[in-house]
Structure 1
């Protein structure tokens, strides 16, 4: 049986000021000052890239600088705490919905109430994938991977990224009675050298990390975990198409704010994100790495987050409630 371990992100903090004041200010009252966009992702990750691209467009719309501040670590808790501690109404969080839907299941105690964080707008679908090392010969489908795991118990080294990928891997191993070795990394990018070298056999992580490797033969992507195929590589099937629904994970990136934020400001932020999601340059930059720009207003995005929360809660219950 797989041994679930906590993964902590530990990277240096960097700041990024995006864009110059432009003529399309959305409101004369908000934002009144520069905006901070904290993210739980590590610099160089797909989430970090998306945050910076959106920051550029939001800065132009608001005629205010938008500073991206990576705050990785503790399953996203550090980023949430940074946003809630600001208390100045101009600090938001850009990141995966899993911070609200999965992190509470992985950690027995949280230093904040998830209800104090409100979804403001969907920003993108981040495609996630299951990639294998070229060292695994004769495996081209998930069915092949399961067969290899059953025939060679205890020999496959597997790693999963944070959030839903951790729970999905646990469900996969349980469903097929696999005995695998789990490797722990502070973040998916750190797993790449081991995957290429064959020391790590399977990685569940962002498609953006492994797609360049797959294109030059240094890794193979067996499936994407999202409900639909990615436009960046439509030849890659989904986990559902291959008959493995327990591996489905929807990579959801969005903008979140503190619960005390006024309704007018929430609406203005959502409208600005929606406008940015239609910018051809942003759409194409994200598409190239397997991310699809998408916007959704606060109510619809909140409902999406609630559905994901209910789904992962049911998965966690199968494994005895909280996994830590």
Structure 2
């Protein structure tokens, strides 16, 4: 009797695996939506547009990019977390997503429970930049200047990774910033270029072109080591903020109810696409490094990031009702 039951359980398991495999092979059955929870022009948007066409070609479907900003990225993220169509992806700054649980007292979704990681795509360090009119050539001079005059610090949003990183620098150096929140990186960049803000911290992918054109002046990079595209720019850690490192991690997530076979299928395709010479070179030319992960590795990374940022948020006292 026991052997019969065991054989039946094995048979049922085999059928379930076969069904899951068939489901993944048949998926997608309609166009895919990639939701970017920020306005056009930011780092996540740039990467979404780099991968959308090859992803559609690989999966033989149409891929639509939907910019859905609002509530510091939470509006678009919540829409994906609650999506039940099985064909909606979220492409966002994973670091910012990891911070939300620490800076918000209430969220309409649980980042760890309502979303599943598909793969990481790219990392770019933050650049600390200023409007060219700011009379500072390094972080020490900027800190001294901020103690003498009002200094507006543009951030992609209150509670975003660049904001929390700015708070960490402020606490470590004695700088005095007045944070000006925007609805995304592109708007924060544009206002700093226009001289409406003095200082900006933002992902290198979106910010580097403005440094190269002379519209912004870079004072530091938030990586542990200097970057090849800006070899003469010292790291923030080199300039006295010991151990400082931050950056923008772009990754793709899907709703928690997505079948594992589908997650693995999308992960494999995106990993292949982001590693192609054409896409890799396109991103590396703007300072983004390709980083891919399996869904399991993504989960481990996300929980580690959430724990690390929780400490920074607590030290900085950043909180949003």
Task: Provide TM-score, normalisation by structure 1.
Answer: 0.83
The answer for unaligned runs of 5 or more in structure 2 is 1-22
Q: Contact conserved, 1:134 with 1:219, CA < 8 A, in 2?
A: yes
Please say if residues 224 and 236 of structure 1, whose CA atoms lie closer than 8 Å, have aligned partners that are also in contact.
yes
In the alignment, is the contact (CA less than 8 A) between 1:231 and 1:287 conserved in 2? no
Q: Does 1:123 align with 2:121?
A: yes
Shift of 1:124: 0.7
**Which of 44, 50, 59 in structure 2 is aligned with 1:47?**
44
**1:164 maps to which of 154, 161, 165:** 161
Tell me, in whole angstroms, the C-alpha distance in 2 between the residues paired with 1:261 and 1:216. Answer: 43
Question: Which runs of 5 or more structure 1 residues have no equivalent in the other structure?
Answer: 1-25
Does structure 1 retain, via aligned residues, the 8 Å contact 2:205–2:286? yes
Matches within 5 A, 1:196-275: 196-245=193-242, 248-275=245-272
Partner-residue secondary structure (3-state), 2:28 = coil
Deviations 1:68-112 (A, max 9, x none): 111111122111222133202111111111343112222221111
Deviation at 1:323, TM superposition (A): 4.4
2: distance between equivalents of 1:80 and 1:185? 17
Specify which of 84, 91, 96 is matched with residue 94 of structure 1.
91
Aligned to 1:33: 30
1:85 corresponds to which of 82, 85, 93: 82
User: Secondary structure of the residue that 2:292 maps to in structure 1?
Assistant: strand
Q: Answer yes or no: is the 8 Å Cα contact 2:124–2:287 preserved in 1.
A: yes
- 1:306 — aligned with what? 303
How many pairs does the alignment contain? Answer: 296
Native 8 Å contact 1:39 1:68 kept in 2: yes
1:184 aligns with 2:181: yes
Return the offset for 1:133: 1.4
Cα gap change, 1:260/1:133 in structure 2, threshold over 3 Å: closer, same or farther? Answer: same
C-alpha distance in structure 2 between counterparts of 1:173 and 1:37, whole Å? 35
Take 2:250 and 2:78, find their aligned partners in 1: how far apart are those partners? 18
**1:36, CA displacement in angstroms?**
1.2
Question: Per the alignment, in what secondary structure is the counterpart of residue 140 of structure 1?
Answer: coil
Partner residue of 1:135? 133
Shift of 1:321: 6.7
Secondary structure in 2 matching 1:87: coil
In structure 2, the residue corresponding to 1:251 is in which secondary structure? Answer: strand
Aligned-pair CA distance for 1:193: 4.5
SS at match of 1:48: helix
Deviates more, 1:303-312 or 1:282-291: 282-291
**Greater shift after overlay, 177-186 or 287-296?**
177-186
Which TM-score applies when normalising by structure 2? Answer: 0.84
Q: CA RMSD in A?
A: 2.2
Rate the CA distance shift 1:180–1:321 in 2: closer, same or farther, 3 A: closer
1:155 counterpart residue number? 150
